[in-house]
Amino acid sequence: MNNPFTLEGKTILVTGASSGIGRGICIDCSKMGAKVHLMARNEERLNETLAQMEGEGHVIHKADLCSTDDINALVDELPVIDGVVLCAGIIKTMPVKNISEEAMTEIFNANIMGDIKICSRLLKKKKLNHGGSVVFISSVSTFNVKVGNSLYSATKGAVNSFAKAMALEVSKQEMRVNCIQPGFVPSSILSSGAIEEDAFLKFYAERHPLGFGTPTDIANGCIYLLSDASRWVTGSIFTIDGGYTLQ
């Protein structure tokens, strides 16, 4: 039976692959038949992700999104790929009056500048196949803002706008560029240390009509956007949040 959602025969790059949502995306893409290139800063945790994946031919890349040299070396090492999921990112919570230039540089480099550099390099080096798919992991924080998260919301808003413009530019090559805006997925938020666990669970548990999500819930959206099933989908922003932003 034909399965339009299969990733058999596709090679996918996933950034932020060492934990949380990024790890889940790698694991679930491997289950759908993809060969995955896993990128993150921590080689030990990359190997932990790799150990949970199915199939063969997966490759880990220890690299820092905040380093232009690392990004250039990563893309140069890659074969021609069929898709990329840009999942790496950090959260910094602080009031606007306390924002420093150092904080701005760190979060913008990690959450948007590195993604832009990877996309530019992939296109320049012709490392993304005709008909390839780019998936940015954004956030519901682009419109569901919280006090203290202005920098994070700003970077994810930039991700959405950049993705839409890129979608237009690469459409002649039948490449697709889309965003997924996850709600709160405890495994990723809590592991980042951005918020204390008990407070998180208490505050948000009743605010998700469908309950908390898992990395697989986000990975399933990525699989759709990476597969041929989404061949007519580009410049879209998908919210996957268990109904959180309905309230």
Structure tokens, 87: 């999942």
Residue 204 pLDDT: 72
Count other Cβ atoms within 10 Å, centred on residue 12: 27
Confidence label for 187 from pLDDT (cuts 50, 70 and 90)? low
At 189-228, the pLDDT tens digits run 454 444 556 666 777 777 888 988 899 999 999 999 999 9
Kindly list the structural domains of the chain, giving each domain's residue range(s) and its CATH number in brackets, ordered by start.
11-240 (3.40.50.720)
Average pLDDT on 164-180 reads 98
What pLDDT is stored for residue 197 in this prediction?
Answer: 60
Percent of the chain with pLDDT over 90: 80
Output DSSP code: residue 66: T
Helix, strand, or coil here: 77? helix
Res 200: pLDDT: 63
Q: Please check the confidence at residue 112 and state whether its pLDDT lies above 80.
A: yes
Side-chain-side CA neighbours of residue 52 (13 Å): 16
**pLDDT at position 198, please?**
66
**240: helix, strand or coil:** strand
pLDDT of residue 127: 98
Cα 90 to Cα 105: distance, rounded to the nearest angstrom:
12
Q: Per-residue pLDDT tens for 52-105?
A: 999 999 999 999 999 999 999 999 999 999 999 999 888 888 999 999 999 999
Instruction: Tell me the HSE value of 140 on the side-chain side, using a 13 A CA sphere.
Output: 17
What CA–CA distance (Å, rounded) separates 40 from 25? 13
Q: Which residues contact 240 (CB under 8 A, 6 or more apart)?
A: 180, 181, 182, 183, 213, 217, 218, 221
Q: Which two tokens stand for residue 91?
A: 């959260």
pLDDT at 45 over 50: yes
Q: Tell me the pLDDT of the chain averaged across its residues.
A: 92
Cα–Cα distance measured from residue 85 to residue 180, given in angstroms and rounded to the nearest whole number: 10
pLDDT of residue 191: 47
Torsion of CA 118, 139, 237, 62, to 10 degrees: 20
Q: Buried b / exposed e across 168-178, counting CB within 10 Å, b at 16+?
A: eebeeeebbbb
Indicate whether 114 pLDDT > 50: yes
Structure tokens given for 26? 């790698």
DSSP helix, strand, coil percent of the chain (3-state; round to 5): 50, 15, 35
